Amino acid sequence: MKNFAVCYNQTINRSVEVKDELIKIFAEKNICVQAIDIDGLKVGFDFVFVIGGDGTILKTARFYAKTATPIFGINLGRLGFLSQASRENLRFAVENILSGKYVVQERIMLKNSGYTALNDFVIKGSEGRTSRFSLKINGKYVCDYLADGIIISTPTGSTAYGLSAGGPVLAPSLNAFVIVPICPHTLNARPIVVPDTEKITVCSDKNAKSVVSADGQEFYEVEGCIDIEKSDYIAKLALLDNSEFYTILRDKLHWATHPEYGE
């Protein structure tokens, strides 16, 4: 690797400070890096360090998926599920990456009408109230949902909104998508896991508009049916060698840990 970039988000507290610290570490190793703001992303790099929360990483991942450029997250947000490092172990992370002690994990993505999502597409009624949604897979009718909305999630996004709405957690390596109804008005509506080769169609009531969000960052209105399928692009997330999904699940989501009781 020759061309490194450091992407930072000025709206996040301490982002500029960490950016400067990261550039200093590279300077000590006689390596030149280019700093770029999240709102001024550009191509031409072999590897990109991303400073911020999961939202910053999602936006950067979508952009650099088009050039198959690996990105590495440095968390300054709350959960940081997509991040691999913090300010405290910044130097350790850089030295490991420069030594080649990392892997690049490919993450499947979704697409709809020119939009791409690494986590999920969320479909809701335009008036923000309960709506009827009809679900089809590969053009074949599956069911109707009377619900607040529908989440179509990747394995990466299964630990995000889909999990909060009652969906399952999928290992990132699975080639599958999750369909999760949001607050369905029935007790027998459950999430569905489908292969990533399937074409998912969600239709709203006639003459009704839906609001669609991609990764909770890009919003647009659609009238009628929405087709969602696997994107041609693959996000590439750099992970340190000792990274393991189930450890991250336990450490960051406190998965299945027992509450601590006082004496």
Give the catalytic positions in this structure.
Answer: 54
How far lies 139's CA from each of 98, 198, 200, 227, in Å?
Answer: 48, 10, 8, 10
Tallying the residues shown for the chain, one arrives at 263
Query: Are the CB atoms for 54 and 83 separated by under 8 Å?
Result: yes
Tally the C-alpha atoms within 13 A of residue 135's C-alpha that lie toward its C-beta.
23
Contacts of 172 (CB under 8 A, 6+ apart): 105, 107, 155, 156, 245
How far lies 74's CA from each of 14, 46, 83, 91, in Å?
Answer: 12, 17, 5, 11
Burial of 111 (0-12, 13-18, 19+ CB in 10 A): middle
User: Residue 28 CA to chain centroid, in angstroms?
Assistant: 33
Comparing CA positions, the residue from 47, 76, 43 lying closest to residue 236 is 47
Q: What burial letters (b/e) apply to 21-41, b meaning 16+ CB within 10 Å?
A: bbbebbeeeeeebebbebeee
Query: Are the CB atoms for 108 and 230 separated by under 8 Å?
Result: yes
